[in-house]
Structure 1
Amino acid sequence: MTDRKSGTARLIDVELDESVGRATPDVEHERAVAIFDLVEENSFRPVGDEKDGPYKLKISLADSRLVFEISREDGEAVVTHILSLTPFRRIVKDYFLICESYYQAIRTSTPSQIEAIDMGRRGLHDEGSQTLMDRLRGKIDLDFDTARRLFTLVCVLHWRG
């Protein structure tokens, strides 16, 4: 699908719209880890881009829609994709609930209870990641690990908004 070795079909920078506001320390930690992991290893290419990357991505919310602004390393705009949040609402809501349970469990529960909650959390995260891949099909080529990290950032934006 993409050429990871050449470094052209990848993100080199990811920015979240800061106007939405700050979140809890747990959520901010998730954001920082997701951005670090995403920039370290990803496979990302806008469909039909003639010039190649690497790319920068700004993710924001506008009018209850998810906005992906993609540019080149030098800042030249490539494309902006705007996605409805409707397909994500149930998954994100359930994911927030289970994450709250997970963070609480880390502080008070047994390892087996934490593991059970974490399995549910990972399952919902996988579902959200697949939904994101489906919504981006034909717009952006990306692998599942990249979609997972992007879904985390979508959740962080949602949490703030």
Structure 2
Amino acid sequence: MSERNRLADVILDEASLAPASPNAEHERRIALFDLKESNSFAIAGEDRGPYLLLLAQSDGRLAFDVTDEAGERVVLHHLPMSAMRKLVKDYLMICDSYNNAIRTAAPSQIEAIDMGRRGLHNEAGEVLMEALAGKIEIDLETGRRLFTLVCALHVRA
């Protein structure tokens, strides 16, 4: 990973966020921390990183507002949420199932739900990678973490 092809910081648009459950807030904080620690984020045709990302939702679209460290906009890319809406709903549902299961279910049931959750999370990271391809290049781990943040924005919409 190049020192320039990365995110220095990620900010979620506060107006796009809904109050979150403790579990959802915990996942959001982990995703933000992990993204700041390690990510791969390159803008096609640009070499002005590391970048700052403001992630927001507006009018059913996901906005990736990317600036350089001096605050100058590099790109504002809108992605229709329709490409990810079903994945978000399925992921939120399986996360709820997982959080309920850890209180009452047998370890084998918890493990099965967690495997499904991780598989869906991987699929969503890949879908996000494909949707941004040619504009913003990310790796799977960055896609997974960004998807967690997309879920946080989707809850409000």
8 Å Cα contact 1:11-1:39 kept in structure 2: yes
Counterpart residue number, 2:66? 70
1:47 equivalenced with 2:44 (yes/no): yes
Matches of 1:48 and 1:66 in 2, distance apart? 21
TM-score by length of 2: 0.95
Shift of 1:107: 1.4
Correspondence 1:19-58 to 2 at 5 A: 19-20=15-16, 21-49=18-46, 51-58=47-54
**Aligned residue-pair number:** 156
**Where do 5+ consecutive residues of structure 1 fail to align?**
none
Give me the CA root mean square deviation: 1.1
1:122 equivalenced with 2:118 (yes/no): yes
TM-score by length of 1: 0.93
Off by >4 Å, runs of 4+ in structure 1: none
Q: Which amino acid aligns with 1:129?
A: G
Shift of 1:109: 1.4
Matches of 1:82 and 1:65 in 2, distance apart? 6
Q: Which amino acid aligns with 1:62?
A: S
